Amino acid sequence: MTDISRQPVTAVIGLGSMGMGMAQTLIRAGFETHGCDLRPESLETLIAASGHGAATPGELSVTPDVTFIVVVNAAQTRSVLFGDNGLAARLTPGALVVGCATCDPDDARAIAAELAVLDIDYLDAPISGGSVKAAAGEMTIMASGPSTAFAKARSALDALARHVFEVGTEPGQGSQVKLVNQLLAGVHIAAAAEAMAYGIQGGCDPNVLYEVITQSAGNSWMFENRVPHILAGDYNPHSAVDIFVKDLGIVAATGQATKFPLPMTAQALTMFTQASAMGYGREDDAGVIRVFPGVDLPARAANDEG
């Protein structure tokens, strides 16, 4: 069994912008932290920050107590755990895996069940907040799992997040809450784009629109956060259009599988898919406004690479 009285050895699999920030936060909080990524430059960055790196889980120099898998979807999570040089075979009974990808809840339940056979705990723990908050230890975690799993993760979760929401005792519940958040986030970005395009086309000054709406009942977190990208003509990606093609795609697929209608989701997904088909998939998600033809948008910023 893992000894939870000592500081756990942690690992982060997937050193993208979120995973790297999380690994650096764990190191700063005093955890022995290992990272895996196939990109040598990511491992160099981690090692420079006093972490330990390996290309694959099979090559880790230790057996971590708590491993965060910070990849983009359930298929990659499965590959990390059960693929070649996979993590599951390396871990000792009593270890904890924390799955951070946005997944279909059915996938989270299936992964937890496969790990349970090996006596490995699983926390279904999607994350939110972006890379800046990940690096600052201020992100949000929406997690579900047994109390034993939360106990093992507690010190690391507290280091990583400002808000740790314990949304249930069963795997899948964390993923379900995350999908509800992504549904709203995606619909609100699409709505912000539609509202700005409509207002500009109707003769409104876009800066005035932003000032009025952010102080009125039409405001949303996403409107307030993303519309400045439109005003600045800066579509360098903070979060890309294709992320919402993916995430709203997961939401729509769960609705389809359970025969549950999701009309607003379907419409927003169509808009992000259309923007991607127009060639804007890797631009900032505020770029979904390009699906509205003939709108006199603020000029592109000089530093915009789109």
201 binds a second copy (CB under 8 A): yes
253 binds a second copy (CB under 8 A): no
17 binds a second copy (CB under 8 A): no
State which of residues 264, 278, 297, 301 lies at the interface with a second copy (CB under 8 A): 264
258 binds a second copy (CB under 8 A): yes
114 binds a second copy (CB under 8 A): no
State which of residues 18, 125, 142, 156 lies at the interface with a second copy (CB under 8 A): 142
Stretch that binds a second copy, among 14-22, 65-73, 257-265, 277-285 (CB under 8 A): 257-265
173 binds a second copy (CB under 8 A): yes
Instruction: Write the single-letter amino acid at 50.
Output: S
140 binds a second copy (CB under 8 A): yes
Contact between 77 and 151 (Cβ < 8 Å): no
Stretch that binds a second copy, among 31-39, 57-65, 150-158, 250-258 (CB under 8 A): 250-258
Bridge partners (DSSP) listed for residue 36: 13, 54
Nearer to a second copy, 26 or 291 (CB): 291
**CA–CA distance, 110 with 131 (Å, rounded to integer):** 28
Handedness of CA 258, 78, 185, 206 (dihedral sign): negative
Residue 166 CB burial class (10 angstroms; 0-12, 13-18, ≥19): middle
Contact between 171 and 124 (Cβ < 8 Å): yes
Q: Which two tokens stand for residue 304?
A: 């915009």
- Count of residues that bind a second copy according to CB under 8 A: 67
Q: What letter would DSSP give residue 173?
A: H
The residue count of the chain comes to 306
Within 10 angstroms of residue 215's Cβ, the number of other Cβ atoms is 9
215 binds a second copy (CB under 8 A): yes
State which of residues 11, 43, 98, 185 lies at the interface with a second copy (CB under 8 A): 185
Kindly state the smallest distance separating residue 262's Cβ from a second copy, in Å.
6
273 binds a second copy (CB under 8 A): no
Nearer to a second copy, 202 or 303 (CB): 202
Buried b (16+ CB within 10 A) or exposed e, 17-32: ebbbbbbbbbbebebb
Spatial CA neighbour of 66 closest among 9, 125, 140, 18: 9
120 binds a second copy (CB under 8 A): no
138 binds a second copy (CB under 8 A): no
Contact between 46 and 20 (Cβ < 8 Å): yes
**CA–CA distance, 295 with 117 (Å, rounded to integer):** 56
267 binds a second copy (CB under 8 A): yes
Nearer to a second copy, 89 or 208 (CB): 208
Residue 292 to residues 128, 165, 196, 217, 256, Cα–Cα distance (Å): 29, 37, 10, 24, 27
178 is catalytic: yes
State which of residues 198, 256, 277, 296 lies at the interface with a second copy (CB under 8 A): 198
Q: Quote the distance between the C-alpha of residue 94 and its chain's center.
A: 26
Stretch that binds a second copy, among 51-59, 85-93, 265-273, 276-284 (CB under 8 A): 265-273
Binding site for a second copy (CB under 8 A): 105, 128-129, 140, 142, 163, 165, 167-168, 172-173, 176-177, 179-185, 187-188, 190-192, 194-199, 201-205, 208-209, 211-213, 215-223, 225, 251, 254-255, 258, 260-268, 270-271, 292
Catalytic residues: 178
